[in-house]
Amino acid sequence: MYTSFLNDLSSILDSSAICCHANMAHYTSFKAGGHADILLFISDEQQLQTSLALLKSYHFPYMIIGNGTNLLVKDTGYPGILIRFSNENIAPAINDTIIEAHAGTSLSTLSQSAASAGLGGLEFLSGIPGTIGGAIYMNAGAYGGEIKDVLSHVQVLQPNGSKTTLPAENLGFSYRTSLFQSNSNIILRAAFQTTFASPASIYNKMNSFNALRREKQPLDYPSAGSTFKRPPGHYAGQLIEQCGLKGRGVGGAKVSEKHAGFIINYNRATAQDILDTIDMVSRAVLKTFDIQLEPEVQILG
């Protein structure tokens, strides 16, 4: 099915950047799930544009993913091509209080670069796993901060192959939502507005946030972070805990005893174990509180 496509692709990407029958348990933070037909690792915008043009000529389904920290691929796999940026450690560019980086740059690299330059405002990002592109896609946030609060503008690749720059206020941000979830634009780069601050004060904030994460979150087990979005006026973890679901689950997946908002892979869980646990939790909260929880995790397959 893919033979001709792979032959053509070999003129664009090195063989090391092409993974056929990719086990997505190796590329997602849940450490569970099925295979993708092909996983591509893209290192620059030219590779992306050329690869996408080729993909579209073959009409294969495809999707851009981040670091897989908010992703679960069903055990049956993804029948298509997944694309992942491989430039997560490229240093951001700094101009006065604006810091700009590739979509594939990790949030850790972004926040550390800002801190070392004495640029504050991005401290809340320091412990969030994943990439800039993925964080913008879902308007990621923690400890009172969200991407929308610090984003200045993004450069995107449009479906027609042209690039354009969009200001943050035009991106339809709301809680864990952006316009990128309903259009086909691909985030290439992003610029963030910061403020000057002493590196010591910035690192103190980052250390405090990271200490809270270690204290409150089950970081010793694979997970996708908060499994559910926060329902209006409530906290998902509190509702789940009040249902008595801590430690409950299906197969190798369960609700964390440390934080009920997290479903963890504690014993070689399958994707179906995780999905069944999500369903069990959703049903219990709906029955008890008449509140429908919405998964924050993106499910493919």
Active site residues: 176, 226, 296
E strand intervals along 12-150: 18-23, 35-42, 62-65, 71-73, 78-85, 93-95, 98-102, 119-120, 141-142, 145-146
**CA angle, corner 188, sides to 184 and 192, nearest 5?**
115
CA 226, CA 249: separation in Å to the nearest integer? Answer: 16
Distance (Å, rounded) from C-alpha 36 to C-alpha 100? 31
Whole-number Å distance between alpha carbons of 120 and 158: 31
Residue 63's nearest CA partner among 47, 51, 45 is 51
Helix (H, G, I), strand (E, B) or coil at 36: strand
DSSP code, position 295: B
For the record, the structure tokens of 121 come out as 């405002």
CA dihedral 218, 34, 249, 292 (to 10 degrees): 90
- Structure letter (DSSP) for residue 115: H
Q: Identify residue 224 by its one-letter amino acid code.
A: A
Q: How many Cβ atoms sit within 10 Å of the Cβ of residue 96? A: 8
- Calpha distance 67→65 (Å, rounded): 7
